[in-house]
Chains A and B, each alone.
Chain A
């Protein structure tokens, strides 16, 4: 039998290369400003919930304070629900929003 090369069946790259992020819509964990939560407290909560260093936590706290909101994480729906629940346990004004 002649050595004929088998036709290559290429994978559907478009489908195969879709990332997990594309398959699983991303959600944003957003913290909103309010005039009651103390700045030092907010920094502390960010450190506890996300395990951040103080500097990063303060950066996001200042964003909340000066810009009215800060996106704290872009994650799966399940993780976003988890983080929002953790932040709300501390009575911070946090929500999850679908990434545009």
Chain B
């Protein structure tokens, strides 16, 4: 995924065909992080039992629902991805960049959780069994798109 051009409002990207397919496959999996995964506090648990946690869970659930709705609308926009030579081009409004980064990181973290939250040294694709390989691929691909996006936005 490469940046073709950019201005204050938007960034134009060029994707190779496999990248386009991978991005669509990836985005279809959102959300991946399980609800109520996040903890509001480590040391307030005893003094403030569930209030904050409940509020946080609700706020994050609303956020996920809004992101999902936005994602569906974004993907369904006619001409979102336009064929260009051997690949595709798409325009990302800068106002959509934070939302897309959040979605991609949810996918990355969610697949990492599915792999059992391994430490970096524990993740060797050659030693992963067949069941875990797709999650590893999804995690790596979302990282690739995140980095491409961050570099393009700078």
Contact = CB atoms under 8 A, between A and B. Distances in A.
12 contacts: A35-B118, A36-B117, A37-B105, A38-B146, A40-B147, A40-B150, A44-B101, A44-B150, A84-B56, A91-B33, A97-B41, A98-B44
Contacts of B105: 37, 41, 90-91
Interface string A41-76: 100100010000000000000000000000000000
Contacts of B43: 97-98
Nearest to B151: A40
Contact of B63 (A38, A48, A89): A89
A97 B102 contact: no
Interface stretch (B73-81, B87-95, B106-114): B106-114
A96 B60 contact: no
B25 interface: no
A44 B147 CA distance: 11
Contacts of A37: 105, 109
Interface of B: 33, 38-44, 47, 52, 55-56, 59-60, 63, 98, 101-102, 105-106, 108-109, 112, 117-120, 139, 143, 146-147, 150
A44 B10 CA distance: 18
- The secondary-structure label for the interface of chain B is helix
Interface residues of A, number: 21
A98 B45 CA distance: 11
Contacts of B139: 36
Contacts of B55: 81
Contact of A36 (B39, B52, B112, B147): B112
Contacts of B120: 35
Contacts of B60: 85, 88-89
Chain B CB within 10 A, most for which of A36, A85, A93: A36
B150 A88 contact: no
Given A41-B150, A96-B40, A36 B108 contact: yes
Interface in A78-95: 81, 84-85, 88-91, 93, 95
Contacts of A38: 143, 146-147
Contacts of B143: 38
Across the A-B interface, give the 4 residue pairs with the lowest CB-CB distance, nearest first.
A36-B112, A91-B109, A88-B38, A91-B105
